[in-house]
Amino acid sequence: MSRVAVMGTGSWGTTFAMVLADSGAKVTMWGRRAEVCAEIAEEHRNPQYLPGLELPATITANPDPAVALEGADIVVLAVPSQTLRTNLSAWKPFIGSSAVTVSLMKGVEKGTLRRMSEVIGEVLEIGPERNTVVSGPNLATEIAARQPTATVVACTDHNTAELVAAACSAPYFRPYTNHDVIGVELSGAVKNVIALAVGMVEGMGLGDNSKASIITRGLAEITRLGVSLGAEPATFAGLAGMGDLVATCASPLSRNRTFGVHLGQGMSVDETVAITNQTAEGVKSAGAILGLAKAHGVDMPIAEAVTGVVSGELPLSELAQSLLSRRRKSEFA
């Protein structure tokens, strides 16, 4: 039986802990708020993030990272991307020398432009054979209701990917393995930016043709960036690529899409931040993703437009025109 530490008691960390427990793993969670840990450990619920959900009674939780990480073979990281480096540096002394890491996070670090698995490798000084990423069409609220879905466990080492896939194979949760860490991870981060754009389109009252155009050209952007960074094109047609893009851009449950809807309806970024109590990673990662694209000479007009709107440099009323007035080109150039 795997002994798993889940670091983060937000909506995905908690739901993934349930998946692991339903798969037979022994799970201890860490959360920064003692009262949330107590609710999980003693009342088997986390009402702020997942109202109505009854968690498996086997899940424990503790606000002390040393306790949560003690003896863990698998360490799952589920905090907001921009906080990972600081948190992980503090947790490093308590992480076992042979533990496998799992990143659930879908962001890119501001400043360094690093993917989350790169931050993990750097901070913990571990090789790629112990460093995995789980990403796919995984809206936490649906999975918390034990609705069926699939996902991707990515690692350059097949045995490690298999180990993590076995630990999170529940009756309603089917993991596939993939060795393309870059492609899987970038897909998850960039789709959040595309979902922001789709939300803006929705909020402005535009229809499905506009949304489908953004989703499809968004996938073209994600693929272009990924391939230029060494990812495999096939990954972007898979669950972590198209699968997650479709789920996130279509679903009112998506925090990124919802954030975009509010902007499209005329709210400012600050007003939208004030009413958003969960993590919309695309808002903070958009600029870093654009930075990555620029550093590699990759054209990403949708990411550029979203970054412009979020930073206040592009008026929302000019979003559509900024994309439609570009020079005509071949679809697959």
Ligand X SMILES: O=C(CO)COP(=O)(O)O
Look up 191 and say whether it is catalytic. yes
Return the residues of window 134-153 that contact ligand X according to CB under 6 A: 137-139
**What is the phi-psi region of residue 2: left when phi exceeds 0, alpha when psi lies from -120 to 50, beta otherwise?**
beta
- Cα dihedral 114→118→122→125 (10° resolution): 180
43: its two tokens? 């009342």
Q: Is 232 exposed, middle or buried (0-12, 13-18, 19+ CB in 10 A)?
A: middle
Return the residues of window 242-261 that contact ligand NAI according to CB under 6 A: none
Site string for ligand NAI, 35-74 (x = CB under 6 A): --------------x-------------------------
The 8-class DSSP code of residue 170 comes to: B
Least CB distance from residue 315 to ligand X, whole Å? 24
Closer CB to ligand X, residue 4 or residue 190? 190
Site string for ligand X, 247-266 (x = CB under 6 A): xx-----xxxx---------
Per CB under 6 A, the list member of 30, 74, 99, 106 interacting with ligand X is 106
Residue among 26, 191, 211, 294 flagged as catalytic:
191
Q: Is 170 exposed, middle or buried (0-12, 13-18, 19+ CB in 10 A)?
A: middle
Does 123 interact with ligand NAI (rule: CB under 6 A)? no
Closer CB to ligand NAI, residue 194 or residue 319? 194
- Residue 18 CA to residue 246 CA, distance in Å, equals 24
Number of residues interacting with ligand X: please give it, by CB under 6 A: 13
Least CB distance from residue 41 to ligand NAI, whole Å? 15
**Which amino acid appears at position 176 of this protein?**
Y
Site string for ligand X, 194-213 (x = CB under 6 A): -x------------------
Does 244 interact with ligand X (rule: CB under 6 A)? yes
The 8-class DSSP code of residue 265 comes to: T
174 is in an annotated binding site: no
260: its two tokens? 């975009």
* Cβ contact 61:40 at 8 Å: yes
Per CB under 6 A, the list member of 140, 214, 293, 305 interacting with ligand NAI is 140
- Residue 110 CA to residue 47 CA, distance in Å, equals 31
* Cβ contact 34:42 at 8 Å: no
CA angle 36, 275, 312 (to 5 degrees): 130
Looking from the CA of 14 toward its CB, the CA atoms found within 13 Å total: 26
- Strand order of the sheet with strand 3-7? 60-62, 26-30, 3-7, 74-77, 100-103, 131-135, 149-154, 173-178
Does 81 interact with ligand NAI (rule: CB under 6 A)? yes
Binding region for ligand NAI (CB under 6 A): 8-13, 31-32, 49, 78-81, 83, 87, 104-107, 138-140, 278-279, 281
Q: Which residues are annotated as a binding site for sn-glycerol 3-phosphate?
A: 106, 136, 191, 244, 254-256
Task: Give the residue numbers marked as catalytic.
Answer: 191
Binding region for ligand X (CB under 6 A): 106, 137-139, 192, 195, 244, 247-248, 254-257
Q: Which residues are annotated as a binding site for NADPH?
A: 11-12, 32-33, 49, 106, 140, 255, 281
